[in-house]
Amino acid sequence: MRRIYLDYAATTPTRPEVVKAMLGYFTDAFGNPSSLYSCGQETKGAVEEARGKVAALIGARDEEIVFTSGGTEADNFAIKGVAFANESKGNHIITSSIEHHAVIETCKFLEGRGFIVTYLPVDKYGLVDPDDIKQAITGKTVLISVMHASNEIGTIEPIAEIGKIAREAGAYFHTDAVQTLGHIPVDVNELGVDLLSMSAHKLYGPKGVGALYIRKCTGLVPFMHGGEQERRRRASTENVPGIVGFGTAAELAQPEMDGETERLTYLRDQLIKGLMERIDHTHLNGHPLKRLPNNVNVSVNYVEGESMVLNLDLESICVSTGSACSSSSLEPSHVLLAMGFSPEQAHGSLRFSLGKWTTEEDISRVLEVLPRIVAKLRAMSPLLKSHR
């Protein structure tokens, strides 16, 4: 049975062009970019070329990109870096209650170090209200961090509006764009952000590499201490093959974006429509329109999300219950709880995330298989019996 992969928000396969671009940097061009001799300078050149490609994808200057080990490090660096660099100005941070764990846990860490964090509520679609941000700002607010789009429910947040508010308030503004980079337009000037987190493995690049955009003149306390790499902002020998792969993935994403958005939006809407028609007591989570072209998150009442995932896996269909980071824990999704779901409702959610290799046949197969699985699980479900 051919495997149907519908979890592109968890990670994407590295595209063959990217693997090809990376390969030579493991073997022939293996020099350390900090070495003065030519084999080091060759890899330094490759890192700088990749930096230019990533910068071009987000409308930034090359020197505003710092490569990291991924999105988690970029989030940690942005938030801790600004917080510690501005301790004399203030100790207040504003974020949303639906951020990725990389942001939420970093904020919790800072709370233990004397910072005060406001976790803003969201509406039933998972949208942050910019007016709530305005209300939450105090004279001590140094940083606002709101994600560009949710990895779980796909809702796209009003980042440009929040950017204006942050600027007026004189607070730094960070967005986690891990789920949007390469999928929808991301322009740091249009969004009005000072810091933006990226991860290569969500746009068909390799795992273990990402970047933080740092607007010129934004002071950050370094996250890693050691050598002078990345203009003294991130110590450690550069992951040259990874960085080259990230640059290649970024370069390839731009010209394909419009076409992919159109294709995936069509498939996404087919899937949503089919699920609503074929499975009763099912509803769409997240905003119906302001959502990522590849995200379908649904709640199927009276069934456990994990049971659906495991049964779909037996049919060679890979989906998740929420984010990959939280799906191994049995805690209900903090995102759905923040949107007003009960723990039972939150447990019955499924996230499909579509991508480059998703076809119409894949969608038809899901629509054929899932209603059968749900009917089988509901027949055994104590949740449905107690409802009747």
* 100 scored as a contact of ligand PLP (CB under 6 A): yes
Beta bridge partners of 198: 211
Do strands 195-199 and 172-176 pair parallel, antiparallel, or not at all (unpaired)? parallel
Q: What is the DSSP letter of 149?
A: B
Instruction: Work out the burial of residue 382: count CB atoms within 10 Å of its CB; fewer than 13 is exposed, 13-18 middle, 19 or more buried.
Output: exposed
Nearest approach in angstroms of CB 388 to ligand PLP is 38
- Those residues with Cβ within 8 angstroms of residue 13's Cβ, 6 or more apart along the chain or in another chain: 5, 204, 357
Helix or strand holding residue 162 (H, E): helix 159-169
For residues 154 to 193, the per-residue mask of contacts with ligand PLP, x marking binding by CB under 6 A and - elsewhere, is ----------------------x-xx--------------
List the interface residues with ligand PLP, window 268-327 (CB under 6 A).
323-324
Nearest CB to ligand PLP, comparing residues 83 and 104? 104
Residue 264 binds ligand PLP (CB under 6 A): no
Closest CA to 247 of 13, 381, 51, 94: 51
Instruction: State how far the Cα of 148 lies from the Cα of 201, in Å rounded to an integer.
Output: 17
User: Which one of 71, 130, 241, 293 is in contact with ligand PLP (CB under 6 A)?
Assistant: 71
Contact window for ligand PLP (CB under 6 A) among 70-78, 121-129, 288-296, 353-361:
70-78
Out of 33, 205, 210, 245, which residue is the one contacting ligand PLP (CB under 6 A)?
Answer: 210
Residue number closest to ligand PLP, CB atom: 71
Residue 146 C-beta: closest distance to ligand PLP, Å: 11
Q: Which of residues 338-367 bind ligand PLP (CB under 6 A)?
A: none
Give the interface segment with ligand PLP, choosing from 66-74, 127-135, 153-161, 359-367 (CB under 6 A): 66-74
Query: Rounded to the nearest whole angstrom, what is the least distance from the CB of residue 157 to ligand PLP in the complex?
Result: 11
Q: How far is the CB of 12 from ligand PLP (least distance, A)?
A: 11
CA distance 235 to 222: 8
CA atoms of 177 and 212, how far apart (whole Å): 10
- E-strand spans in 150-268? 172-176, 195-199, 210-214
147 is a site residue for ligand PLP (CB under 6 A): yes
Q: How far is the CB of 171 from ligand PLP (least distance, A)?
A: 21
| 78 contacts ligand PLP (rule: CB under 6 A) | no
- Residue-wise over 51-88: b if at least 16 C-beta within 10 A, else e? bbbbbebbebeeebbbbbbbbbbbbbbbbbbbbbbbee
Burial of 95 (0-12, 13-18, 19+ CB in 10 A): buried
Q: For this structure, is 107 an active site residue? A: no
Which residue out of 39, 107, 318, 325 is catalytically annotated?
Answer: 325
User: Residues interacting with ligand PLP, by CB under 6 A?
Assistant: 70-72, 75, 100, 102, 147, 151, 176, 178-179, 199, 210, 323-324
> What amino acid positions are annotated as catalytic residues?
325
